Structure 1
């Protein structure tokens, strides 16, 4: 649109640029566009002090709020005041239209000529900057602030000229993809010293003084992010809260960031967005570009986990499932679900937008997210959705850590020979460090304690009323530490967890018993057998007390409880054997036999008796010094196995062999000879001539024959 004085207005309805008619060319030095005012208590940062001569085009990259614009503005003001510039152009580069408009305006002010349209004006301005274009003797700096999309600068990059410099600020890490000679500078958050120095200065400016310790804690809480510290300091100044009181509010998961920073009208340093909204545009743009539009989902899941490192293996399966985030990841992926490669692609996309850091080469800590970004993302999710995300992140972490939390404490582990147990543990090791697992579990506990630690009134047993329990993932952390060869770290972890769990769920809750069992096992493995044995006996007594009528357990609940007591008794027997208390082991197996009879009676179990358990109990009875009792037990077993399996069954052979042995040990050497002779005849009929059992039986028979004649001989088996 042209006016009668030949002025020009261009743009959209929401953005109109006006160019006056013919005017006098600018005098030097000249500034186009407004450089943002310096932030209160602005601190120079060493990140821009690069060694050597800086490149003529530099790109400051970092997440929103790290201070890129303030660093660029400081550099522009410093160069201007030092007389190093003839032309300074400050461009808001949030869109291509804004860039074109700013370039056209610069041309109009410099030359006094009206551009026909912004595109033509921008081309003429860039031509003016090139050799022979009129500006070759002009020392210039062009700042492109807040570049959102590198494509917006296609064909609009200022030329590489000895007299000119270009400075770009952007979230986008891929902004340097065009051309050579562009230097990318990653702008981090404040260092700890810079953060404390900044807070001290801002508070002092408002007449406040705080000790350094709470200031350091506040800086850590906000991850040293400049924009967060600026808004926090403004909030402290307006409310009069002490730093310690503010920290307590900040750490309260029930409080929202929006309630702990100033309202939009009270934001410091000309900021336009309160802290929770700073990353909204970046998330929206990344989500629009992501495979299946799931960048937001992936970021929301990462926001539940540890800010200092998440294995990509945890997040990758999120793309193999639809939106059932709260479901356990144990089944097959849904038909048509995205492949794992989409997760890597989306993580790389979020990395390009500076919403997280993604390093696929770092197996343990592939993904890092700034804690304030995490909190802002979490708080932007509605309540029900937040629960689903926490449950989904928990399921993903559980699946990625793979091994069962109870495997190291199950009876299957005790069946592994001692010399093979170390290899058995190594074969179950995590794909990533136990410390990484621990930090991620601790993050989940902070955000959703009821999910992992149980909730509600203390209960006697898990699953019999409210169902509250300690999540398997919490136990897995200590197991992983132990598997990693760090038993003391595992012991410290479980010991620290025990009081909180007992207080939350009840002293005799199943989860508490699991913790106590792990602590006892670790103590035993460290050599403190006496303490471990005492603790196992206490746990057994505590569990048996629950069987008393006052607790009113159903028969099925009683059977389950007795089964748990039996498992504890197996473990007690193992450590009693290690301690050399053979009579104690024998007594424990008598109790286990009583447990088995109880379960059979209550549960209505049918079928053959548990021969293996009874034979083990008989064996320990003999090893504890009661050979006569072992003979009685073995005699019954032999009679029952004859009826059940027949005389030629391998199980019957083994029981008859041990029966003969204990007959001899009880003083009846002739009886032992009779039993072993009958056994050898049956084995000769059934077994091949070179079978090792034949040799063992012959050797034992020879031994007891010699003993029956009053002569000793080397014992066979």
Structure 2
């Protein structure tokens, strides 16, 4: 395939005879018809007739007919081959009297061919090319009562719309113009011209091309292997063509070539043919093709910023980067530093603004180097993976490491504390994962970047607790290797692994792991270090969740004394510890006193932290809980309903804390005598917990168990037994026979089978 290879044919428009008017006249001396100026590029080897060709053909023949089609796309998608296929079909079918194929990457190139046409067809003086070009374009204009001339002009590889100023072929019922360009400026689509985007191969087309190309040289690879290679090369026709040529020259099979491509230490240019061995008359390797586009984009306003913002985007996820990341404070600092570097060479100095960063993104978009979708969608910027790799390959070592950290800073800067938008959170995690792949060890020196902890925290906060647990387990092992077992970041990762282990249902294991961690934090950090106190708090929690609320209350009381001594009475962590203490006291048989104390605490929190602070919301949840345990289920239900309304506003409807509050609301409705209402609330909640947390999450299983309890309480014991039988099968598979939830479900099932009038035991959360 050629550098422009990979697209199917396009019917640019039908040529209809008209009885009179509006046609260019044939000159008296023109006897050679049809007449061709310029060579049509030959068809690439193993050319693929793509599904895109049918769509382009439909686009050209529906709606209002236009005389000009602009085929636009990044380098290497097959724009020129698409135009060439159409031209060959039109020429062979006798539809044309005049064909001009023009290499239009400069204005001078266009003027030269126009002047040649004027000389050959009209006898114009070729000594003045600009005047001869004007003469030729004037001849193409409508002429009444003249013999029709059916012409087609291809302006291939237009680099700058300004080069065509006063050189656009005129509209004509007999004339058609095809433009191929990497640009998609608004000026190209004005005047009734139709923009036709040319994209990548479809996966099936890419596999078909690879199979055809390799089988022609005696190589027969499996479809799965070729599909993987097509993915690795990003379905880009030029990359596939040059990749096949490299494989054949090097005697490599697809699997071996894929291993080379996966080696991030290798420069992509080393894995593609050299300039003089390119296939299909291609003029430049991929990197050179994109370098020209990057240079053009970098010269657009705001001058000098397109390249540095593309460098930043090259470190992130090709499938979608939030615009907020590339316009964040750290991103603007990177652009400003680049601008100051240019200032030393005579450019304008100044700090870059968000508006300028957006302008740089639009410049890259205009050159088809990125796809930028304005607005608040999470995947606002998309970049082809090979463009990213080409940009990264061009960076020196120190510059590369600085960009990795800048990208990590940009992600951290926009990462919200409360992740209401789960789609945005997922995009941030995907970008962090890409950065970790590209940055490798850079994010661990000179210290560990906080973004490495952000991704795991985000997984847990959005309900993916098992994934968070597994992430922090892997991060702990990595940090032990890079930083050592006593490094603070290693200790932090261990604590977060224990937390999400507990959230995933293993409270006893979390308690044991946190106890081990506490011994190390005391040894390494000392008893008054903030993380030591956090570890003490976590240990108290997991002991309580594992069935020892008395021990949790005792440990939390000791922690409160230390935090009051170190932080003072009004610090948010001191207030949070007071809230936790009353919660555990309420669980140990003194809920009325705990409710009174929590009410006093809540007044302090509202005054100091405000009504929307997460600790204030937690204290409200604790107050509703202990009031319910103190025998006030209706008051607990009312308070929980008010809390739920605020949590949905502040945290979002899918936040795990919001879902927990809905679970509590169902409980207090049931405790207040409305078993049917409780069952109805849990039925709706079960759908949402299954969607957000997954069907195997312990809290989803708890919702199923409690739904059976309240159906039993409402008199539907048969349904309760049936639900619990199915639930128990899943609990044994997921949690094992010794998990507290499993034992509760087993006890409920036995009770309902042996004593139909017996009540079930509900599960917290």
> TM-score scaled by structure 2?
0.65
The alpha carbon displacement at 1:120 in A equals: 1.5
The alpha carbon displacement at 1:540 in A equals: 2.5
Gap change, CA 1:179 and 1:623, over 3 Å in 2: closer
Gap change, CA 1:83 and 1:583, over 3 Å in 2: same
2:234 counterpart SS class:
coil
Matches within 5 A, 1:53-72: 53=62, 55-72=66-83
2:332 matched to which residue of 1?
Answer: 319
Q: In angstroms, what is the RMSD of aligned CA positions? A: 3.6
The alpha carbon displacement at 1:442 in A equals: 1.2
2:229 counterpart SS class:
helix
> TM-score scaled by structure 1?
0.69
The alpha carbon displacement at 1:385 in A equals: 1.5
2:495 matched to which residue of 1?
Answer: 517
1:265 counterpart SS class:
helix
Structure 2 residue corresponding to 1:378, chosen from 392, 407, 413: 392
Matches within 5 A, 1:18-417: 25=30, 27-49=32-54, 50-51=57-58, 52-53=61-62, 55-132=66-143, 137-174=148-185, 176-177=187-188, 179-317=190-328, 318-319=331-332, 323-324=336-337, 336-403=350-417
Q: Distance in 2 between matches of 1:369 and 1:611?
A: 47
Q: Distance in 1 between matches of 2:461 and 2:585?
A: 36
Structure 1 residue corresponding to 2:440, chosen from 449, 452, 461: 449
2:533 matched to which residue of 1?
Answer: 566
Q: Distance in 2 between matches of 1:572 and 1:362?
A: 41
The alpha carbon displacement at 1:115 in A equals: 3.4
1:141 counterpart SS class:
strand
Kindly provide the CA deviation profile for residues 637-658 of structure 1, in whole angstroms up to 9, marking residues without a partner as x: xxxxxxxxxxxxxxxxxxxxxx
Runs of 4+ in 1 over 6 A off after TM superposition: 593-597, 610-625
| Contact 2:525 2:532 (C-alpha < 8 Å) held by counterparts | no
Q: Distance in 2 between matches of 1:614 and 1:178?
A: 64
| Contact 1:128 1:135 (C-alpha < 8 Å) held by counterparts | no
The alpha carbon displacement at 1:474 in A equals: 1.8
**Are residue 439 (structure 1) and residue 407 (structure 2) matched?**
no
Unaligned runs of 5+ in 2: 1-26, 339-347, 567-572, 591-765
Kindly provide the CA deviation profile for residues 576-633 of structure 1, in whole angstroms up to 9, marking residues without a partner as x: 2344414433664698699999x99xxxxxxxxx9999999999999999x9xxxxxx
Gap change, CA 1:507 and 1:136, over 3 Å in 2: farther
Q: Distance in 1 between matches of 2:67 and 2:129?
A: 26
| Contact 1:94 1:147 (C-alpha < 8 Å) held by counterparts | yes
Q: Distance in 1 between matches of 2:268 and 2:574?
A: 65
Q: Distance in 2 between matches of 1:433 and 1:259?
A: 36
2:514 matched to which residue of 1?
Answer: 536
Q: Distance in 1 between matches of 2:139 and 2:145?
A: 5
The alpha carbon displacement at 1:258 in A equals: 1.2
Structure 1 residue corresponding to 2:552, chosen from 581, 585, 596: 585
Q: Distance in 1 between matches of 2:574 and 2:458?
A: 36
Gap change, CA 1:134 and 1:308, over 3 Å in 2: farther
Q: Distance in 2 between matches of 1:532 and 1:64?
A: 53
Q: Distance in 2 between matches of 1:80 and 1:619?
A: 87
Kindly provide the CA deviation profile for residues 168-212 of structure 1, in whole angstroms up to 9, marking residues without a partner as x: 000110165464331111000111111111111111122222112
| Contact 1:264 1:272 (C-alpha < 8 Å) held by counterparts | yes
| Contact 1:311 1:432 (C-alpha < 8 Å) held by counterparts | no
1:259 counterpart SS class:
helix
| Contact 2:207 2:223 (C-alpha < 8 Å) held by counterparts | yes
Matches within 5 A, 1:637-656: none
Q: Distance in 2 between matches of 1:391 and 1:248?
A: 27
| Contact 1:310 1:365 (C-alpha < 8 Å) held by counterparts | yes
| Contact 1:23 1:113 (C-alpha < 8 Å) held by counterparts | no
The alpha carbon displacement at 1:215 in A equals: 1.5
Matches within 5 A, 1:691-706: none
Gap change, CA 1:323 and 1:531, over 3 Å in 2: same
2:702 matched to which residue of 1?
Answer: none
Q: How many residues align?
A: 542
The alpha carbon displacement at 1:486 in A equals: 3.7
